Structures are given as structure tokens and as C-alpha cells.
Structure 1
Amino acid sequence: MILRVLFILSLIANALFANKVIYTSYDQVPQRVIKGQIFEVTLKTLSTVRDFQDIEYTFSNHPGIEILDTTPNRVQKGKFYYDTFKLYLKSSDAKLPDIEASLVADVSFDTTTIVGDKLNVITLNPQKNFSNIVANNFALKNYKTISYDNKHNIVIFSAIATNSMLEAMHFKNVFKQGIESIEQTLGDSEITYFVVINKKYDKFSFSYFNILRNQFVTLDIPIVVEDDSVTTQTDLKPTNQSHEKIKMYIAAAVSILLFIISIWRKKYIYIIFSIVPVGYIYLSATPQQNICIKQGVSIHLLPVDNGTIFEVTQSQIYLPQEGSVERYVKVRLENEKIGWVKNEDTCSN
């Protein structure tokens, strides 16, 4: 009787799984994941047929998880395929995806589905200066500070990070902030970011969590306010006002020298020559006139493409020109804030 029951169960099992040709399971899953971390999971897949082109995976039911790549990093060992995917944990309550695996072949085969378990999520308890960045490594490339208004400075910095979601960068207790440019990849990513902070601070300090060291790391940016424009990109070459002052001093010295020579040698022709440097000094020292800005023009926070726009002109206006870089004009608004306008947005273009 028992043998008969086992035989019947065997027939039922064969009928149920006769068309199943692909088997998959979670092979490597981290024991714990930090909220905000990019992590990897590896699937172990076996196909019982040889004639297929590829294995495809469909992800579903993964609250708190963002799938960063649907094309795996594949390693084949014998008949088994080890497919590794990168995921981003964005919530303290999350589970691994349910995954449907299927064969890409000339004929249709049944698929198989695995159910993801709930993740063991570690939620950090950072200090107020936390940048919201979790990374294997995070390093500053360059930084610069310029005046924003009477009460605030703009700190702009570029940084590179490994295994990090830089798009998540965010600071508490700053007046304004934002991304100026970003290159987010699954390896090394790069960001240019700005924060507007109170002038009372002599440094901008923030921290990130280093996964490899399992600790918070603090970075300091000294506040050294420069009058020139921001050089967060290599093509930005602001006019150096200190050079202009040096030229004016030289012109004044030349003018005085020519005047002394004209008196000493009684050749008053030198007086005429001495007027030329004086004219240069006058033109250089004369405040620049207002520049005409067209209606509907975006005024940028920084002179970079796709930069933050903080105001749009409602009509044609005239603003004092404070300087310029390639393709941008630096203007001072009525509220004493500094902005940047593209050259083609001025009335003379």
C-alpha cells in the first residue's frame, strides 16, 4: 500500500515538473545591509537544456529596494551560472526582490520564480553634519568659496565616490543646496555640489559612512572667500581682479616716471605720453555700467551648464556687471545676491 502511494506521488511530481528546465536560487546575500548602501546579490541558476541564447530575469515585489542593473555580471562554473546584480537600499523596511528566471531560446520553456526574503537592515544614527552618503570611499577633488549675499557664502566642491549613490547627497542646516553636475555609475561616481551657508562659519564640515571601515568619516572644507567666479570646471577661467590692480599700479608708476622725465629733460612731449597710462587707470577704475538682461532669462546660481536657476527675469532689466567668464556674465541683483547670465541672454546679443 505504501509503495503504491509513493508511486502515485512520483507520477504527480513528474507531471508537475516535466516542463521545468531552469532552476534558480539566491546564492550570496549580505547578512546585513546599511540603509543608503549599494550592495550585491548573486543568483545561482541551472538550465537542463543546452539550446538557449541567454537567461533573463524579471524583478518584482521589492519594497525599499532599487534595482540598479538588470544585466548581471555573469560567471559560469560548469553547468551553473552565477549572476550578480547591484541593488540600492533606500528604506529601513525592505525585502529582496521576487525574481522570475526564463530562458531566451527558439522554443518556449516554462519559467521559475524565487521569493526574496526580508533584509536585515541597519539604520545609522549619524550626527547633524551627515551628508546622507554611504560609500566604500569618498574623496574631495577640489572646492571653492565665493560670496552669495551679505549673510551667506556659497561653498562648491567636487568629489568622487566608490560604490555610492551620490544622488542621495543632502545636508541639514544649510540655507540652500543642490547638485550642479553628477556622473552616477555602478563603480566610481563623481558629483559637483553646492551649499549656501552662513558667513560666520570658517569651515564646512560634513561626514559620510565608510562601509569598508565601518565608521563615520568627517571631511572639512576651509572657508576662504574668493572674489573671482567659481572654477568647478576646467573651462571656467574667471578674470583675476588682483591682476587688474597690478596693471593699474604699473600704469600709475609709468605715468609718474614719464612726468618726471618731461620736467627733468624739459621735453614736454613726455607729458602727452604720460596721459595714456592715466587714461587706462581712469577706465579701469570707473565702475562698470549696468548691463541689459532680456525678459524671461534664467539667472543661474553658478556659471555652469544645467546649473541651479534661482530667478527668472519678468521683464527687461538692467543689472550691474560684476565680472565674466567664458559664456557667462556675473551680475548683482537688487537684493545684493550674485547671479550668472549667459552671454546670449544680454540685450547686446
Structure 2
Amino acid sequence: MKRLLLLFSLLFTVLFAPTALQAKQKVIYLSYSDDLPERVFNGEFFPVTIKTLSTIGQHHMLKYSFTGGRGARLQNKVPDREDKGTYVLDTFYFLATSSTIVLPDITASIDSERSSLGGESIEGVSLNPDNKFANILADSFHITAVDAKKYDNKHNILTFDAEAEHCNIKAFKLHGVEDQGFESVNDGIKKAKMTYYAVLPKKYEKLEFTYFDLEKERYMKVRIPIEVIDDSVSTQSDLKPTENKNYIIKMAVAAVIIVIALVLLIVYRKWWITLFIIIPGIYIALQAAPAENICVNADTPVYLLPIENATVFDIVSSQGSFEVKHSVKGYKQITYNKKIGWISEDDICSH
């Protein structure tokens, strides 16, 4: 009996085991394309293309997941796809964040079927830039628009638009500029755009910085001329936070008129001469009156300029009283944290 059972067991193994193994054959095949980069610069966007073949088709149902890796930050979870019929080429973009780069393990799945591809190592290169480097690596970088205005008696504010290709444009930063930032940014991988501002000393006639050209593999210099436009007419007020240049002259002239009028009044004793005392006197009193003070609510944004969509450079942390430097329609100019800015009249305390 035991011999008979052993014989049946051997027959079952021979006849049915190959069929069971065939049912478990691999469904998804993954491999790197031939154009995997051998080296990348720290701060560069770089593509990684995966060749994916499914024996059951249904490439539209492919899903990818990433685990591990070092020095490479994934930028797009949905790949750029090139359909080759029997297989697809799926391209993912990574940002190099270190000189040591190991790609994450990639797993492709269709429902319960899975296949994984181990992460490859790529040589990373760190730059040694000069002190004018603006943290930008790009295939191209162009300034498309420039606007310069007077900000205060020591500074101008420069705003410029830029376009770039294959560039981490959000990393842009000028060296040695205290007040700077983005007005807007569109950080696409293939094409990126930004509007940037910088508050610069008046002595600067141009702004210079460098970026690294990835195609030429060298630093390129960018020069932006600073040609200041006085927009006081368009805003119906002087936007520059400076004192009235003619203040002393006007006060002196008013005082001289009063003195002369007093002498004439003593000599001729005519009542109409008193008008030349009263009117200049009223002017002097108004000019010498204490400055306007306003109560500003907590969490009020302080803007660089009194215009719509202006850049917020600070937030009033708590409710307080502030002296008004200038006023334009809808805005008041104040000094906060030793910086001059504008607040909306909507943020003035109601009581």
C-alpha cells in the first residue's frame, strides 16, 4: 500500500507541477532605458526613463511606487509616457539634492501583479560657485521684463520676470540682498517662470548674478539695468517714504510773511494786513500739528507698495498704534520693525 501511494505521488509531481509553475510566470518586466544619466549636478533636474513591458497588456493600469533612495527627490508621480505598443517608456524626473545619489527602488503593479527594479547609483557633482551665484541650474535662463521704482530715500525696488528650462526656479536667491522674494512662481519641470523683487541701495545702477548653464556646463552672467521710474503720478501720490523736500522752505517763507505783515500792521494799522498774519499762521500750525496716529489690528499684512497684489514682507504681530507717514487711496504708510511699508485701511481698528 505504501509503495502504491509513493507511486501516485511521483506521478502527480511529474504531471501537474510544471503546469503550476507556468501559472506563476512573471507578468511585468522592468528595466532602465539606455539613456540613464551617468552623472548629475547637485541641484539639477534629471530624467529617469523606465522600460515597462506587461505580458497581459493593460499598460494604462500601471501604477508605480518608490521606496528608499538617497539624494534624489521625485518631482512627478505621474510619468511622461511614450507608448511603443508592446511596451511603454515612462519618464520620471528627480531633483539632485546631494553629491551622493542612489535612485529609489521602483515597483510597478497591475492589480495584484507586481515587479520591482532596484535603485541605481549615479555620480553626483557639487558646484563651487562664486559669490554672485543665484542657486540656479538650467538649460536656459532669460529675463523677460524689468521694472524699477524708488522705494525710500536710500533704496530702490527692482521687480523682474524670468523664464527658465529644466530649472528648480524656486531655489533662486540673490547673494547679499536683505529684502527679496517671489511675487509669483510657476515651477514647472520643463519650463518655469517667476516674478521676483529685490530692494537695493540707490548706488546700484545694475543687478548682476550668475547661473549655471547645464548645456554649456559653465556659469553665465546676467545683468539687469536699474532704470528707476517715478510712478507718483499714476498712483496719485508720492509713493516714496521721504519727507517733503520743500517743508523747511515753505515754513521759512510763511514766517517771513508773518514778520513783514506785523511790521506793516504797526505802521499802517490796516485791518486787511492781518490776513497776511492769519493765513500763514494757520499753515504753520497745520504743519506743526502732531502726525496722524492709527490703530492697526493684529495679523495685519505689511506691503512693500500700496498696490493690489503687492508683496507682503511682514505681519503686524499684535494690535498697536502707529504714526502715519503717507496716505494714498486705500492705504496708509507706517514704520514696522524699523521697515517702512503700507497697510490697507481695511486693517485699521474699528474703535
Query: What TM-score results when the alignment is normalised by the length of structure 1?
Result: 0.70
2:298 matches 1:301: no
The one-character-per-residue Cα deviations of 1:34-84 (angstroms, maximum 9, x if unpaired) are 111111111011111135642111012122111111111111223121111
Q: Quote the offset at 1:320 in angstroms.
A: 3.3
Matched, 1:31 2:38: yes
Deviations along 1:196-219, one digit per CA (max 9) or x if unpaired, are 334433221001111222221111
SS of the counterpart of 2:77?
coil
In the alignment, structure 1 residue 21 sits paired with structure 2 residue 27:
yes
- C-alpha distance 40-80 of structure 1, shift in aligned 2 (>3 A): same
Question: Are positions 1:238 and 2:235 aligned together?
Answer: yes
Shift of residue 195, structure 1, vs aligned partner: 2.5
Among 79, 84, 99, the residue aligned to 1:92:
99
Question: How many matched pairs?
Answer: 285
Amino acid at match of 1:312: V
Can you list the C-alpha shifts for 1:216-257, whole angstroms capped at 9, x where unaligned? 11111223344438xxxxxxx634759xxxxxxxxxxxxxxx
2:142 touches 2:163 (CA, 8 Å); kept in 1? yes
Q: 2:183 aligns with which of 180, 194, 199?
A: 180
Q: Which residue of 2 aligns with 1:71?
A: 78
Equivalence for 2:226: 223
- 1:128 and 2:125 equivalent? no
Q: Distance in 1 between matches of 2:52 and 2:337?
A: 63
Against the structure 1 CA distance between its residues 178 and 98, is the aligned structure 2 distance closer, same or farther, given a 3 Å change threshold? same
Equivalence for 2:68: 61
* Secondary structure of 2:346 counterpart: helix
Residue 312 (structure 1) shift = 0.9
User: 1:180 deviation in Å?
Assistant: 2.3
The gaps in structure 1 that reach 5 residues or longer are 1-7, 230-236, 243-281
Structure 2 counterpart of 1:308, which letter? V
Provide the alpha-carbon RMSD of the alignment.
3.4
**Residues 146, 227 of structure 1: 8 Å contact kept:** yes
Could you list the per-position Cα deviations for residues 129-162 of structure 1 after superposition, in whole angstroms to 9, with x for gaps in the alignment?
0010111111112223344455444332221112
Of structures 1 and 2, the larger Rg is shown by 2
Deviates more, 1:185-194 or 1:219-228: 219-228
Structure 1 window deviating more from structure 2 (58-67 vs 300-309): it is 300-309
Instruction: Note the C-alpha offset of 1:308.
Output: 3.0
Q: Tell me the amino acid that sits aligned with residue 340 of structure 2.
A: I
Contact conserved, 1:162 with 1:187, CA < 8 A, in 2? yes
Task: Give yes or no for contact 2:141–2:163 (8 Å, CA) kept in 1.
Answer: yes
**Contact residue 72 and residue 97 of structure 2 kept, 8 A:** yes
After superposition, give the CA deviation of every residue in 1:290-326 in whole Å (9 maximum; x if it has no partner). 473522222123445383332416334344354647x
**Partner amino acid for 1:72?**
P
Separation in structure 2 between the aligned mates of residue 194 and residue 114 of structure 1, nearest angstrom: 44
Structure 2 unaligned residues grouped into runs of 5+: 1-13, 240-282
Map of 1:1-349 to 2, 5 A cutoff? Answer: 15=21, 18-27=24-33, 28-50=35-57, 53-104=60-111, 108-109=112-113, 111-149=114-152, 151-228=154-231, 238-239=235-236, 290=292, 292=294, 294-296=296-298, 297-302=300-305, 303=307, 305=309, 307-312=311-316, 314-322=318-326, 324=328, 329=331, 331-333=333-335, 337-346=339-348
Report SS of the residue matched to 2:177.
Answer: coil
Q: Work out the CA distance in 1 between the residues paired with 2:58 and 2:318.
A: 66
CA change 1:73–1:127 in 2 (3 A) is same
* Rounded Cα–Cα distance in structure 2 between residues aligned with 1:176 and 1:64: 31
How far did residue 172 of structure 1 move?
A: 2.2
Task: Pick closer, same or farther for the CA change 1:183–1:345 going to 2, 3 Å.
Answer: same
Q: Which residue of 2 aligns with 1:254?
A: none
Identical pairs, percent: 33
Q: Judge which range, 178-187 or 193-202, deviates more.
A: 193-202
In structure 2, distance between residues paired with 1:306 and 1:114? 48
User: CA 1:120 to 1:238, structure 2 compared with 1: closer, same or farther past 3 Å?
Assistant: farther
